[in-house]
Structure 1
Amino acid sequence: MGRGRQKAKHTKVARELKYSTPDTDLTQLERELAAQSGEGEDQYVDRWADDTEDER
C-alpha cells in the first residue's frame, strides 16, 4: 500500500474515532466510581514525603 493510500486510511479511521458516539452505560460507570471511592481513603501514600519539612 502506498503512502497516499495509507494516509487516507489512517485519516478515515481517525475521523471515525473522533466523530463516533459510542453507547455509554452511565449506570455501570456510576457503580464503578462508587466502588472505587468506597475503597480505603488512604490508597495513595507518598513514600517520599518528608514530614520534617512541615516543621520548618
Structure 2
Amino acid sequence: MGRGRAKAKQTKVARDLKYQTHETDFGALANELHGSSHNSDKDQVDPNEIDKWSDYIEPRRD
C-alpha cells in the first residue's frame, strides 16, 4: 500500500531525465575528475589544530 505514489514519482523523474535536455558544465566535471577545486582552503590545516595534536606526533629520527 502506498507504492503507487512513489512509483509515479520515480517514473516522472526518469522521464524528465530521459527527454529533457540539460546543460552540462564540462569544466566543472573536468575539475571534479582531476581533483582540482575552486576552494583550496579546505585542504589547508589550521595551525591551532596542529598545536592541539602535536603531543601525539612522533619526533623525527634523522
- For the criterion TM > 0.5, the same-fold answer is no
TM-score (ref. length: structure 2): 0.36
Higher relative contact order (CA 8 A, sep 6+): 2
TM-score (ref. length: structure 1): 0.39
